[in-house]
């Protein structure tokens, strides 16, 4: 079968989500470095990641994950049960929307990628304070985010939460979430997580 190519950068959370899925399913791939300002030939919306597989090019992480699930064998990222699969979609969407628009935007501001006024950055941080206890309660009920088996939802959450220890304000929020930290420790021990550790990390802006 044609080698899958992932266009993106290793520190990118959505790129890491796709890479995690490949490792969990045992899919070989080639990593092709691409930034939002260089990926236009593949994604006119200037976002990473995108994939190339034979004649197919595909962008948007959820579309990519569903393609991988349908085309490749290996452990399932979505359960067969309709309700359980819907819960996976729900929690993956919560991460990709609510948490990304709070915590990830705060990270981008602190790393100097998103120049916003201080009061806007504080709003992102305040929203993160509201959201993390919700994830913590969910993980107090289940081993993984959407149930008792690993799913696509965990692959969205881990790359975002993995940056919390690098920023003091986010680490302080995470330190108050024991169930989330139990989950993060278990995730960190997975071979897929270890194999996708970013080759470099952004630094907090001065």
Going along the chain from its start, the domains and CATH numbers come out as 4-71 (3.40.30.10), 82-194 (1.20.1050.10)
Which of 161, 131, 153, 187 minimizes the C-alpha distance to 84? 153
- Specify whether the CB–CB gap between 176 and 182 falls below 8 A: no
In tens digits, the chain (206 residues) has pLDDT values of 689 999 999 999 999 999 999 999 999 999 999 999 999 999 999 999 999 999 999 999 999 999 999 999 999 999 999 999 999 999 999 999 999 999 999 999 999 999 999 999 999 999 999 999 999 999 999 999 999 999 999 999 999 999 999 999 999 999 999 999 999 999 999 999 999 999 888 887 65
| Cα distance between residue 112 and residue 106, in whole Å | 10
The C-alpha torsion from 147 through 177 and 157 to 29, rounded to 10°, is: -100
Q: What is the pTM of this model?
A: 0.96
């Amino acid at each position: 079968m044609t080698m899958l190519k992932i266009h993106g950068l290793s520190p990118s959370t959505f790129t890491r989500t796709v890479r995690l899925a490949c490792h969990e399913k045992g899919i070989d791939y080639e990593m092709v470095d691409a930034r939002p300002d260089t990926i236009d030939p593949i994604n006119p919306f200037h976002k990473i990641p995108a994939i190339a597989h034979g004649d197919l090019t595909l962008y948007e992480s959820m579309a990519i994950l569903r393609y991988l699930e349908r085309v490749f064998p290996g452990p399932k990222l979505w359960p067969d049960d309709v309700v359980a699969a819907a819960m996976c979609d729900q929690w993956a969407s919560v991460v990709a929307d609510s948490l990304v628009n709070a915590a990830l935007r705060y990270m981008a501001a602190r790393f100097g990628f998103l120049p916003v006024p201080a009061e806007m950055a504080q709003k992102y941080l305040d929203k993160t304070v509201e959201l993390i206890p919700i994830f913590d309660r969910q993980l107090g009920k289940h081993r993984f985010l959407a149930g008792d088996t690993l799913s696509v939802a965990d692959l969205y959450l881990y790359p975002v939460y993995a940056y919390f220890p690098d920023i003091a304000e986010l680490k302080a929020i995470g330190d108050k979430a024991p169930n989330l930290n139990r989950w993060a420790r278990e995730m960190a021990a997975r071979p897929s997580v270890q194999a996708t550790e970013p080759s470099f990390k952004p630094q907090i802006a001065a």
